[in-house]
A and B are shown apart, each in its own frame.
Chain A
Amino acid sequence: AQSVAQPEDQVNVAEGNPLTVKCTYSVSGNPYLFWYVQYPNRGLQFLLKYITGDNLVKGSYGFEAEFNKSQTSFHLKKPSALVSDSALYFCAVRDFNQAGTALIFGKGTTLSVSS
């Protein structure tokens, strides 16, 4: 079965420091991977995706993610964290096990950036 795992429930980082939010996946075939962010009382906002090509993907708000096929990982990164980056982050993989194109989400990682 296809799945994604976010091994950390919470990540704490100081403002100005680099941040990494981890994601590993398990799929048969080539994965389509996505990162979304959810702010309190808001919907999910798309950050970036990996479909094919360059393993380093750049997205919104200065975020980037590195696709690593050998480690089946798709970690989200940012060189310098902002307090406003504090939110809930979801990694997701496209579910190709059925006719549709729904996403399978990880459980989410809460990022807390302190000033």
Chain B
Amino acid sequence: DSGVTQTPKHLITATGQRVTLRCSPRSGDLSVYWYQQSLDQGLQFLIQYYNGEERAKGNILERFSAQQFPDLHSELNLSSLELGDSALYFCASSVTVGGNTEAFFGQGTRLTVV
């Protein structure tokens, strides 16, 4: 168990809908990352937050947004969902924003858009 908790584990929704994925980082970790894993794109970095502030953006669509709250949990909001958004979404956390620290991953949320 990595200590990173993601909810829900599975989510099935229709096209055009909006969903929210939740992540609780390991105790003491200030940095949260969101990744998308799909068969065709592999593991893609979406966005990083550090202590409540956005730190970096990757290949995140404008329909997607995220935030990190004062208690350090994070939410990823996906709107106007399309079939192609079906994927496994991972949250990861690390203790600092330093480049030499490893990130610990949650078990992911499997999103299926029908």
Which A positions have Cβ atoms within 8 angstroms of B? Answer: 32, 34, 36, 41-46, 49, 51, 90, 94-96, 98-108
Contacts and interface: CB of A to CB of B under 8 A. Distances in A.
8 contacts: A36-B105, A49-B100, A49-B102, A95-B45, A98-B57, A101-B99, A102-B33, A105-B43
A51 B42 CA distance: 24
B43 A100 contact: no
Given A43-B90, A103-B103, A108 B42 contact: yes
B45 A102 contact: yes
Contacts, number: 61
Interface of B: 2, 4, 31, 33, 42-43, 45, 48, 50, 55-58, 90, 92, 94, 97-108
Contacts of B97: 100-101
B90 A46 contact: no
A46 B104 contact: yes
Contacts of B92: 44
